Amino acid sequence: MSFPLLTATAVLPAVGAIATAAVPAAQRTAAKWLALVVSLATLALAAVVAFRFAPGGARYQFTESHAWIKDFGVRYELGVDGIAVALIALTALLIPFVILAGWHDADPMETGSRRWRPTQGFFALILAVEAMVILSFEATDVFLFYIFFEAMLIPMYFLIGGFGDHAHEHGEQAASTQRSYAAVKFLLYNLVGGLIMLAAVIGLYVQAGNFSLPEIVQARANGSLHMATGTERWLFLGFFFAFAVKAPLWPLHTWLPNAMGEATAPVAVLITAVVDKVGTFAMLRFCLQLFPEASKWATPVILVLALISIIYGALLAVGQRDIKRLVAYASISHFGFIILGIFAMTTQGQSGATLYMVNHGISTAALMLVAGFLISRRGSRLIADYGGVQKVAPVLAGTFLIGGLATLSLPGLAPFVSEFLVLVGTFTRHPAIGIIATFGIVLAALYTLVLYQRTMTGPVKTEVAAMPDLRVRELLVIAPLIALLIFLGVYPKPVADIVNPAVRHTMSDVHQTDPKPEVEAAK
């Protein structure tokens, strides 16, 4: 038996989480370093997975399969396709930056507050989230996936509710209230989604008799498992609802601005760049593969919802007064693009959507983390409290601008590639939707540049006059992310090559082929 690489990739951060939590209270710095080292080791393992993955090989690679709950046919079944590999790599890549960016976020406060902020807990929770997210990317057993899909809510709940920044316009008390509201809202939304999915998971078991994704897909393909149209649609909706909450899709999005606004910047990155990706990933892996006919049936409605997300999220981002909420609404707009690409049912759309997940993760991390550094300096999240930062902290402003440019999908940076692929993929099948979605790029420029203008340019406000520029630790977080944004914008081929075969499989699962170009059709 070969080395269980996938299990190791997930177990390592899980063990790291326990070890970090067990570090004595006085040894805070040791806990931080331990968490950082574990996350880097996980990154190394993920890199091994990515480099040993053969794009032209079997659909699921590094597979592991063990019986778990025999009576219900639940198996511990892991396996990754190209899409999962890309997302595991993204997750493993972002966590060290999240840890490094949040280095001081969970330090106990010197005076005043009675709230004890356990540093060990903070970093252990981050690693726990990483372990569960990686496992949900790896699981090919529906039930196994469901468990981690739900279980990651618990550490996230504590991360949002337990650790916020002190920047709040109405003081610490209000911040605490807002924070618990946000955490509960996050939990409730996702639990409701998960509950409905659980019903669908059970329904699927009743229909199929097991939980194994590859087996069910094969059985459906060769006709040995027939589902009535109505049943398939209900099951699809059950799955989709949970993923749409997590993604989040309009109108199920309102938990995200609260959660991202109240959480610290690294946790906000964890939410939008890592945890939310499980939702869109699962649409691509479970919704489309398990229920191809129902997916096609629901496509028009989903495309319209995604389109609303794009425009609505962007418009709301324009209207925000709070930097973090602005980024949150921008993310809603971007998730609209991802879902649009997935349900455009073209290779460009789906490859683009997968690349989009990766690129959005990196670009939002860059923008949000710099925003976090900015907020920690001034102690306010309000855009109006800043002005002229460019003059006092040019490096901070420059990195903020690059993060913003990535968010508005400037060509040459990674998000452009994916956004254009999604637009092209949508356009070939649904020209009208493609054109309306293109308005999103103008709105993206609007909210990004307005944010930059109001915070960074103009006369220097007295409150920011003494603001220090980026420190070494902060630069260490941002510089690699920016380098990655540029590299993936200029040379996205390695990622595209890994993703493309997986997308081809998915496309054949839903019995779809790309529309032929007009000229070729005429020949």
Partner 1 sequence: MENLIALLIAAPLLGAAVLLCGGRRLDAVGHWIGTVLAAASFVLGVVLFTGMLGKAADHRTLTQHLFSWIPVGGFQADVTFRLDQLSMTFVLLITGVGSLIHLYSVGYMEHDERRRRFFGYLNLFLAAMLLLVLADNYLLLYVGWEGVGLASYLLIGFWQHKPSAATAAKKAFLVNRVGDMGLSIAIMLMFTTFGTFAFGPVFADVDRTGQGKLTAIGLMLLLAACGKSAQVPLQSWLGDAMEGPTPVSALIHAATMVTAGVYLIVRSGAIFNAAPDAQLAVTVVGAVTLLFGAIVGCAKDDIKKALAGSTMSQIGYMVLAAGLGPIGYVFAIMHLVTHGFFKAGLFLGAGSVMHGMNDEVDMRRYGGLRKYMPVTFVTFGLGYLAIIGFPGLSGFFSKDKIIEAAFAKGGTEGWILGGAALLGAAITAYYMTRVMLMTFFGEERWRNAPTPSPAEPSVEPAAETRGEHAEPHPHESPGVMTIPMIVLAFGSVFAGGLFSVGDRFLRWLEPVTGHSEGHSPVSALTVTASTLVLLVVGAGIAYAQYGRRPVPAVAPRGSLLTRAARRDLLQDDFNHVVLVRGGEHLTRSLVYVDHTLVDGVVNGTAASVGGLSGRLRRLQNGYARSYAVSMFGGAAVLVALTLLMRAV
Binding region for partner 1 (CB under 8 A) out of 66-74, 122-130, 150-158, 432-440: 432-440
Question: Is position 461 an interface residue for partner 1 (rule: CB under 8 A)?
Answer: no
Residue count, binding to partner 1 (CB under 8 A): 68
Q: Minimum distance between the CB of residue 325 and partner 1, rounded to whole angstroms? A: 10
Tell me whether residue 43 or residue 441 sits nearer to partner 1 (CB atom).
441
Question: Is position 475 an interface residue for partner 1 (rule: CB under 8 A)?
Answer: no
Which sign does the torsion angle of CA 337, 49, 33, 108 carry?
Answer: positive
Tokens of 383: 């855009």
- Determine which residue in the list 108, 209, 251, 379 makes contact with partner 1, applying CB under 8 A: 251
- Determine which residue in the list 209, 431, 465, 508 makes contact with partner 1, applying CB under 8 A: 431
Binding region for partner 1 (CB under 8 A) out of 43-51, 239-247, 290-298, 514-522: 514-522
Tell me whether residue 411 or residue 468 sits nearer to partner 1 (CB atom).
411
Question: Is position 183 an interface residue for partner 1 (rule: CB under 8 A)?
Answer: no
Question: Is position 359 an interface residue for partner 1 (rule: CB under 8 A)?
Answer: no
Question: Is position 171 an interface residue for partner 1 (rule: CB under 8 A)?
Answer: no
Contact 55, 152 (CB under 8 A): no
Q: Among residues 274, 232, 270, 279, which one has the least CA distance to residue 252?
A: 279
Question: Is position 501 an interface residue for partner 1 (rule: CB under 8 A)?
Answer: no
Tokens of 126: 């981050």
Q: CA 6 from chain center: how many Å?
A: 20
Question: Is position 174 an interface residue for partner 1 (rule: CB under 8 A)?
Answer: no
Cα 250–Cα 252–Cα 258 angle in degrees, nearest 5: 105
Contact 67, 143 (CB under 8 A): no
Tell me whether residue 26 or residue 519 sits nearer to partner 1 (CB atom).
519
Tell me whether residue 6 or residue 383 sits nearer to partner 1 (CB atom).
383
Contact 225, 236 (CB under 8 A): no
Q: How far apart are CA 243 and CA 283, in angstroms?
A: 6
Question: Is position 427 an interface residue for partner 1 (rule: CB under 8 A)?
Answer: yes
Question: Is position 331 an interface residue for partner 1 (rule: CB under 8 A)?
Answer: no
Q: How far apart are CA 33 and CA 427, in angstroms?
A: 48
Going from the C-alpha of 129 to that of each of 10, 25, 460, the distances in angstroms are 10, 21, 40
- Determine which residue in the list 319, 465, 487, 511 makes contact with partner 1, applying CB under 8 A: 319
- Determine which residue in the list 500, 502, 510, 512 makes contact with partner 1, applying CB under 8 A: 500
Contact 95, 228 (CB under 8 A): no
Instruction: Specify the length of the chain in residues.
Output: 523
Going from the C-alpha of 492 to that of each of 301, 399, 408, 502, the distances in angstroms are 31, 21, 18, 16
Question: Is position 8 an interface residue for partner 1 (rule: CB under 8 A)?
Answer: no
Going from the C-alpha of 167 to that of each of 9, 202, 256, 395, 464, the distances in angstroms are 36, 44, 18, 23, 15
Question: Is position 512 an interface residue for partner 1 (rule: CB under 8 A)?
Answer: no
Residues 387-426 binding partner 1 (CB under 8 A) are 388, 390-391, 398, 405, 410-412, 416-417, 420-421, 423-424
- Determine which residue in the list 193, 352, 404, 415 makes contact with partner 1, applying CB under 8 A: 352
Q: Among residues 10, 510, 513, 511, which one has the least CA distance to residue 284?
A: 510
Q: Minimum distance between the CB of residue 318 and partner 1, rounded to whole angstroms? A: 5
DSSP for 336-349 reads HHHHHHHHTTSHHH
Residues lying near partner 1 in the complex (CB under 8 A) are found at 188-189, 250-251, 253-254, 312, 315-316, 318-320, 346-348, 351-352, 388, 390-391, 398, 405, 410-412, 416-417, 420-421, 423-424, 427-428, 431, 434-435, 438-439, 441-442, 445-446, 449-450, 453, 456-460, 490-493, 496-497, 500, 503-504, 514-520, 522-523
